[in-house]
Structure 1
Amino acid sequence: MQYQVSQNSATDVQASCIVVTLDQTGKLSEAAEAINNAANGFLQARVDAGDISGKLAETLLLPGVSGISAERVLLVGTGDKPQTTETALKVLNAIAAASAKLSGSVALSIHNLANEEVSESWLAEQTAMAYGRSQYSFTATKPQADNDQAAKKAEQIIWLGTDVSSQLEKGEAIAQGVNYARDLGNLPGNICTPSYLAEEAEKLADNPAVETTIIDEDQMEAMGAGAFVSVAKGSIEPGKLIIMKYSGADNADDAPHIILGKGITFDTGGISLKPGAKMDEMKYDMCGAASVLGTMQALVALKPKVNIIGMITSAENMPSGHASKPGDVVTSLSGKTIEILNTDAEGRLVLCDALTYGIDNFKPASVVDIATLTGACMAALGAVNSGLFTKDEALADELQLAARYSRDKVWRLPLEDDYQELLDTNFADMANIGGPLAGATTAACFLARFTEGTPWAHLDIAGTAWGGAGKTKGASGRPVALLVNYLLNK
């Protein structure tokens, strides 16, 4: 998508469509009123006829309006109250849904939505992201049947208002990162393997600011990463630890910020086999890794002056003669031993060795891991909020601030030492599960044991990484928007 800022009036701008608003009392915005006057009261006549009432996110597309340069007018309702970030997002999503498939350019005169809570710059950024969401389609394994229809999409957005070019560019970069993560998540497990993710990471190294390193399963075993290998060894697909180092800070020696994604490209549960129903959705168990790749892509485009390391710990979790068994004890890279009570609690096993490797080798200023880790978090928070776990108050504040700004929501869940005893076992330093209660917290407690002394947070995205059913099923690309804003704030 291309973006342009223009000072043209709503009546004079050349576009396939001009977007203007009205509130729930039927009052037209200043730009809508100008079009109405030029069209001899045509817009007001539509309101008076009840074609549109102005309720929140209601739309009415009007072709061939006389007296103006645009080919169409899209009237959008803004409700009966001043906009909040939540209601403004509904309006922007409605605008994008109604106009994203119109070929050519779409002009937006919506700066009137801005207020103390909703800035024009935020509106611009979220507009770019809304169009990214609306124009997304997954075509890697199902090409569009109607190529002419598939080609119809808005190619340019013209922002009528103050110069918000940088915010539009930022929103576009995030939208591209989100959609890249969605594409990766939606790929089937026979295509998106650990090796495939490694190849995608290597493509990022085409940018001179990025250096990619791939550590394979044999190397991980040689260095003593027994927890990671216990998961990867069950599959014929070799596991990978993927490291993308972005050097943007003026001082190359500045401590980096690590984002670490769980990349289980398919999760059968291993010997602790999952039920067959909906097991196809376990291709989404690499969405943490997808969010890291999407975030890194956006950051490469935005070029922030900060050092960032994107890490992905990737494997398949499969049942086989080589797979780990419940009751096995393995030694992690940290030297701590782990009794594997359930092979379906594999994400924490690959993550713990990656945490140890990243902290020991890069001495990071902070670490945030992102993982589709527990059904317990999904049960607690549904598809609205990702679970946030950390003991570091400053890091919690930074992530919550980024979540509020991006509307990529999180909810903080407990990470108290009292839960740690649930991981106790007679046969190792810890078990990999803590019983039927507080499953999301005990999973986070397990990871916390490998992060002592480093500011660290865990995002459980099991409920937010994908959703829907049938034709609506697909990856969400979350939490790319949160992560990009969090790291830009650094």
Structure 2
Amino acid sequence: MDFVIQSDNPEKYHGDCIVVGVFESRQLTESAKILDTASGGYLTKILEQGDMDGKLHTTLLLHAVPNSQSARILLIGLGKQKGYTEKTFQAVVRTIFKALHQTGARTIGLPVADLIVKDKNIAWGMLQSILAAGESSYRFDQLKSKRESSQPLLEKIVFLVNDKFVAASAENVLQQGIAITRGMHVTKDLGNLASNICTPTYLAERASEMAKTYNLKLTVLEEKEMETLGMGALLAVARGSHQPAKLIVLEYRGRQDTEKPVVLVGKGVTFDTGGISLKPSADMDEMKYDMGGAASVFGTLTAVAEMQLPVNVTGIVPTTENMPGGNATKPGDVVTSLSGQTIEILNTDAEGRLILCDALAYAERYNPEVVIDIATLTGACVVALGHVVTGLMGTDEPLIQALLQAGEEISDRAWQLPLGEEYQELLKSNFADVANIGGRWGGAITAACFLSRFTKKYRWAHLDIAGTAWKSGKEKGATGRPVPLLTQFLINHSQSIDG
């Protein structure tokens, strides 16, 4: 799907369809008024006949409107003007693309300025529209014997802007939106793949393809190399699986090599049974999404490389399965991590922090500017925050605030949870330096506290995406989050470097 910005008035747009809004009760937006005037009041007559009142998410497709240069006009209900919010806009845009996919239209005119919220600018509206278009066109049917017959027909979205200066200044938003959408699709594809296909070896192969496509530096550590280094925590998780674990490192260099990189560490458990601490069987199929952090690192690097962003980014992905077996790690086992700290494994289903702690210690050798880990880490985070925002914790407040700001800017929000020293007390062990769980209460926080013990030498933040990386139920599938948040953070970071 192509996206362009065109400085033009709605009545002059030539295309298959133009989209304009209607608020309750029958209040036309500015572009709709222009089309209504050009048509001799045709839209007003349609509304007066009761075919549409402007209620939220209602649509009405009109053909051959008098004096319209567009073959169709799609009226979209915006609801009450007073209660029109950012969330409403995002829902409206999704409704628009859902309706358009049910038509034969290929080129669409969208006067986005009419639809955006008062405190948001046109660039934000365009970016959100591109992301919504990408979401609406995404299909994951490559594992079916027959592909879906109804494929999206939309080919081109034209953002209609009546200000040439605004049109010129917003051009870079198109590149960003397209790049982020591609990154989200990569993340979704990896998450949605069956776990017998998306193994640690498969992720290493995909990393190799990315390295060739985008000229990235690739390093893949095998189990023998990890054992030599002393990654006892990561290897403890891999012991029950026949699939060999990998530590994948992808390096993108958009600036001079002397510039410190932002390091992204993504949890890559390609399937999590819980190990000996076996999970309940209900919904266990969704544990293929336990590599959502790894998938988001791949997706973010894709977006960054597509934009050729002037920033250095290193992605580190520790990846393994967590399986029960005769050689599997048992509750009560004590292992030594790469950092030298010993860990008593009280629950083998708290495995994500074990593979992450070795990867976080490994990140030190890249002399990072900051380190951000991304992980579907705890059900406790879902209990605390639901499926709306990502949990955020860390030891560096400026970094945390930068991530919160990026999330606000691109509407992929995070929420900060505390990380006080008091919670560290819950991780005490009688037999090792630290236990891998802290008990029932504050589980998302104690998991982050555990990770913080391996991040003393750099600025660090942790994103718990257990509630936001995928959807359950009828719309089951990976969401592509938090690729928008991470990409916006890196865009902001690159701009701060340039001053």
Q: TM-score, normalized by length of structure 1?
A: 0.96
Correspondence 1:89 to 2:90: yes
Q: CA deviation at 1:22?
A: 2.2
SS for the counterpart of 1:204 is: helix
1:414: Cα distance to partner?
1.3
Task: Report the Cα distance in structure 1 between the residues aligned to 2:214 and 2:483, rounded to whole angstroms.
Answer: 22
Q: Which amino acid aligns with 2:227?
A: E
In the TM superposition, what is the alpha-carbon distance from 1:86 to its structure 2 partner? Answer: 2.6
* Map of 1:243 onto structure 2: 249
User: Residue 475 of structure 1 corresponds to which residue in structure 2?
Assistant: 478
Q: Which residue of 1 aligns with 2:263?
A: 258
The percent identity for this pair of structures is 47
Aligned AA (1:315) = T
Residue of structure 2 equivalent to 1:357: 362
Shift of 1:144: 5.2
The structure-2 alpha-carbon separation of the partners of 1:157 and 1:358, relative to structure 1 and needing over 3 Å to count, comes to same
Distance 1:270 1:146 in 2: 36
Counterpart in the other structure of 1:222: 228
SS at match of 2:309: coil
Deviation at 1:94, TM superposition (A): 2.0
Aligned positions of 1:22-33 closer than 5 A:
22-33=22-33
1:99 aligned onto 2:100? yes
Partner of 2:396 in structure 1?
A: 392
Residues 16 and 108, structure 2, Cα contact 8 Å, conserved in 1: yes
SS in 1 for 2:392: strand
Corresponding residue for residue 303 of structure 1: 308
* 1:286 equivalent among 285, 291, 298: 291
Aligned residue in 1 for 2:324: 319
Structure 1 counterpart of 2:276:
271
Q: Which residue of 2 aligns with 1:212?
A: 218
Is 1:337 the counterpart of 2:342? The answer is: yes
Paired position in structure 2 for 1:46: 46
How far did residue 116 of structure 1 move?
Answer: 5.2
Query: Which sections of structure 1, spanning at least 5 residues, go unmatched?
Result: none
Cα 1:198–1:101 change in 2 (3 A) is farther
Aligned with 1:382 (options 370, 386, 390): 386
CA 1:168/1:377 → structure 2, altered by over 3 Å: closer, same or farther? same
Counterpart position of 2:496: none
The secondary structure found in structure 1 opposite 2:429 is: coil
- Aligned equivalents of 1:84 and 1:411: distance in 2? 20
Q: Which moved more, 1:103-112 or 1:385-394?
A: 103-112
Post-superposition Cα deviations, 1:115-148, rounded to whole Å, max 9, x if no partner, equal 651100111111110100111111121265553x
Counterpart of 2:139, as a letter, is: S
Cα-Cα RMSD: 1.6
Equivalent residue, structure 2, for 1:436: 440
Listed one character per residue, the Cα deviations across residues 297-349 of structure 1 (whole Å, up to 9, x for unaligned) are 01101111111101111000001111101111000000000011110000000
Partner of 2:414: 410
- CA positional deviation for 1:11: 2.2
Offset of residue 375 of structure 1: 0.8
Question: 1:115/1:193 Cα in 2 relative to 1: closer, same or farther (>3 Å)?
Answer: closer
The equivalent residue for 2:469 is: 465
> Which stretch has the larger CA shift, 93-102 or 18-27?
93-102
Asked if structure 2 preserves the Cα contact closer than 8 Å seen for 1:83 and 1:118, the reply is no
Q: Is the 8 A contact 1:84 1:117 kept in 2?
A: no
Q: Distance in 2 between matches of 1:25 and 1:101?
A: 26
- In the alignment, the residues of structure 2 paired with residue 252 and residue 53 of structure 1 have an alpha-carbon distance, to the nearest angstrom, of 59
Taking the aligned partners of 2:277 and 2:123, their CA distance within structure 1 comes to 50
The structural deviation recorded for 1:248 is: 0.5
The CA distance in 1 between the partners of 2:450 and 2:295, in whole Å, is 23
Report the residue type matching 1:290 in the other structure: A
Moved more, 421-430 or 25-34: 25-34
1:175 maps onto 2:216 in alignment: no
Correspondent of 1:188 among 174, 194, 197: 194
Output the amino acid matched with 1:182. K
Aligned to 2:497: none
- Secondary structure at the aligned position of 1:51 is classed as coil
Aligned position for 1:142: 144
Q: CA deviation at 1:446?
A: 0.3
After TM superposition, give the deviation of residue 34 of structure 1 in Å.
2.4
Q: Is residue 2:17 matched to residue 1:9? A: no
Q: What is the total number of aligned residue pairs between the two structures?
A: 485
Per the alignment, in what secondary structure is the counterpart of residue 319 of structure 1? coil
Is the CA contact (8 Å cut-off) linking 1:265 and 1:316 kept in structure 2? yes
TM-score by length of 2: 0.94
What is the match of residue 109 of structure 1? 111
Shift of 1:9: 2.6
d(CA) in 1 for partners of 2:117, 2:274: 49
Structure 2, unmatched stretches of 5+, are 494-499
Question: 2-side partners of 1:476 and 1:408: how far apart?
Answer: 11
Q: Is the 8 A contact 1:83 1:113 kept in 2?
A: no
In structure 2, what is the Cα distance between the partners aligned to 1:387 and 1:208?
Answer: 31
> 8 Å contact 2:361–2:454 — kept in the other structure?
yes
- Distance in 2 between the 1:30 and 1:436 partners? 55
